[in-house]
Structure 1
């Protein structure tokens, strides 16, 4: 099913960190079925395959999913005492965080068989990587950069939006333009400069599936996957029936004025 939707944004504003915060717009390129029972905590592509991590005690899993149909092709269920969080591919592995157990899990990507685990310094929320290090969020305004071999924190980066620390950073996705992050309790994404921690762009997705249309149990937007060959962001939410492919665009003045 192909949809086209353009949502207008705002003019860029000074970030307070020497740069600008651009309010970006988006175009829905496609919409795909998604398991409405999946409490999505992580989303990622690896060699064209879509992987998803889900949460809740007794309901957490790691999955390989057919993008076109939303069908779960492979699944590994976590023990009932672990609450699954963000995921990221790492070579022939998948790394998955857990929430409060201070445990990270590593799987064989082909079979989803657990092969290793490691200790987290605190809560686990979101994880991505830059090709060298793992980048981890814990719900605070900091991103922790972890050495994947020694499993120790190299440094922490304070994330600031217009000069103020930004809390509730959740699911993460590294892209050529920066790290995209879900902001928990909202349907908003922010793009973060990985070196300075400055928020360089925001993306309001509250109109994607408006809260007034969501049934009881459907929660906020969560889950970001980047497809580099298409330069698209794929997003969904906790117990959402749809997964969306988005093209990011900059609104023209005429487009913005049509929505005033």
Structure 2
């Protein structure tokens, strides 16, 4: 009897674990916009009708203002050619940007794209977003850093897990309706993360987008932007010739 009850208990645990696995949704394309196929996209955000993008690769790293309708670069600022540019986020009248392994960040005047300040931080820098109170940073590990937006001081960390397992390679980030969306490097997946506990609430699979089948190992999905005013979600990738406005399809359905 004890063996039978133990078996039942084990099955119950397995069933509960399986039920806890986050569901995966697909995407449908609402609109495809031109995107610079030479851009090694590292960061992306949409604000007040404007699209801002950062690119990587030493000698090619820059921050740019892009016209959504045709992908034309309206304005850009170069990053030190020795450095590998990474993610960006808006804060007040500024853009905050990261570099990959050099522990160097920048603050830029958002309107002029002129560098205002240099700061330093430990570890790698991958991506940034913000929740209105704090900056949130990824560094390729399963942990997101919550930062003071003025001093860049680390306040706490969010350990990201799916079904109890750590999720590594968290890359480009975007805050969407109380969730952190994160590209997972070298995959077609976007994690929908609950910032309160780090649990992955669901996955968005971008495999329906043509560029995910290009065969170019460097041309991975990386770039999420959200238009809060019109409830539009945009995605792109490194060297992608398109930026897509997408809707999320079942099983998860549209973002709440």
Shorter-chain-normalised TM-score: which range?
0.7 to 0.9
1:30 maps to what in 2? Answer: 31
1:242 maps to what in 2? Answer: 242
Count residues with an aligned counterpart. 239
Partner secondary structure for residue 69 of structure 1: coil
Change (3 A) 1:16 1:251: closer
8 A Cα contact 1:217 1:239, kept in partner: no
Establish whether residue 40 from structure 1 lines up as the match of residue 36 from structure 2.
Answer: no
1:99 maps to what in 2? Answer: 100
1:111 maps to what in 2? Answer: 112
Looking at structure 2, the residues matched to 219 and 177 of structure 1 have their Cα atoms a distance apart, in angstroms, of 29
Looking at structure 1, the residues matched to 205 and 40 of structure 2 have their Cα atoms a distance apart, in angstroms, of 21
2:4 maps to what in 1? Answer: none
8 A Cα contact 2:86 2:127, kept in partner: yes
Matches within 5 A, 1:87-236: 87-214=88-215, 216=216, 219-236=219-236
Looking at structure 1, the residues matched to 185 and 151 of structure 2 have their Cα atoms a distance apart, in angstroms, of 29
Report the CA distance between 1:54 and its aligned residue. Answer: 0.3
Report the CA distance between 1:20 and its aligned residue. Answer: 5.9
The runs of 4+ residues in structure 1 deviating greater than 4 Å are 14-20
8 A Cα contact 1:24 1:249, kept in partner: yes
Report the CA distance between 1:240 and its aligned residue. Answer: 0.5
Deviations 1:182-213 (A, max 9, x none): 00011110110011000001011122025443
8 A Cα contact 2:43 2:223, kept in partner: yes
1:57 maps to what in 2? Answer: 58
Looking at structure 1, the residues matched to 20 and 107 of structure 2 have their Cα atoms a distance apart, in angstroms, of 37
Partner secondary structure for residue 114 of structure 1: strand
Report the CA distance between 1:17 and its aligned residue. Answer: 11
Looking at structure 2, the residues matched to 93 and 241 of structure 1 have their Cα atoms a distance apart, in angstroms, of 28
RMSD: 2.1
Deviations 1:218-248 (A, max 9, x none): 5100000011122221010100000000122
Structure number with greater Rg is: 2
Change (3 A) 1:192 1:217: closer
Looking at structure 1, the residues matched to 151 and 92 of structure 2 have their Cα atoms a distance apart, in angstroms, of 16
Partner secondary structure for residue 132 of structure 2: coil
Report the CA distance between 1:15 and its aligned residue. Answer: 9.1
Deviations 1:155-203 (A, max 9, x none): 0110001110000000000111400000001111011001100000101
Deviations 1:41-72 (A, max 9, x none): 00001211100000001100000000001000
Looking at structure 2, the residues matched to 207 and 218 of structure 1 have their Cα atoms a distance apart, in angstroms, of 18
Looking at structure 1, the residues matched to 142 and 45 of structure 2 have their Cα atoms a distance apart, in angstroms, of 23
Looking at structure 2, the residues matched to 188 and 16 of structure 1 have their Cα atoms a distance apart, in angstroms, of 21
Change (3 A) 1:243 1:15: farther
Structure having the larger proportion of residues in helix: 2
- Show structure 1 runs of 5+ residues with no match: 1-13, 254-260
Change (3 A) 1:65 1:164: same
Looking at structure 1, the residues matched to 120 and 107 of structure 2 have their Cα atoms a distance apart, in angstroms, of 11
TM-score, structure 1 as length reference: 0.86
8 A Cα contact 1:15 1:200, kept in partner: no
